[in-house]
Amino acid sequence: MDLQDKRVLAIVTNYGVEQDELLVPAKKLREAGATVDVAAVESEDVQTLVGDKDPGEKVEPTLTVGEADGSAYDLLLIPGGTLNADALRQDNDAVALVSTFASSGRPVAAICHGPWILIEAGVVEGKTLTSYPSLRSDLRNAGGQWIDQAAVSDDTGGWTLITSRTPDDLGDFVEAIGKALA
């Protein structure tokens, strides 16, 4: 996977993002040559969690969500973590970034609880996607077709949505992201 000159924007809150859902894709994409910026709601360090409860690594954000210029990136990455995803979907700047990527035809990749923000942005209808199982009804109620697969790519509607279930599926998730960027 050669991702030279590709730019990825990961959006997170400052507390509660699932550690591996942020760090593993960022590392793998950087190893393939992509630039990965982490935009947090605030400029302070991001405290990741492991399993939604145990403190993980701290991550220094590159910029804030409010400062992020979505047009400068090739793909939007939305990691999960229940606390992160629930708070992120309430951030107007983050929701606007999702809408910007979808309306401009650029790919969005969301894992675990990350797809909650897709509902807020109104971009789920007509899409086939997956997530952590507890979001199944929310995504179906928003007009999506939820399926239980490790990673799902759907390019209907003029833009690609890549979704995945849990950290156990990160290999498939990162591979799908790589294909969308290649």
User: What amino acid positions are annotated as catalytic residues?
Assistant: 112-113
Q: Strand pairing of 7-12 and 54-59?
A: unpaired
For residue 146, what are its two tokens?
């939820």
Q: How far apart are CA 134 and CA 20, in angstroms?
A: 19
Say if residues 165 and 16 touch (Cβ distance below 8 Å).
no
Check if the beta carbon of residue 25 is closer than 8 Å to that of residue 170.
Answer: yes
Q: How many CA atoms lie within 13 A of 166 on its CB side?
A: 8
Q: How many other CB atoms are found less than 10 A from the CB of residue 53?
A: 9
Question: How much is the CA Rg of the chain, to the nearest whole Å?
Answer: 14
**HSE of 110, CA atoms in CB hemisphere, 13 A:** 33
- By CB atoms closer than 10 A (0-12, 13-18, 19+), residue 55 is exposed
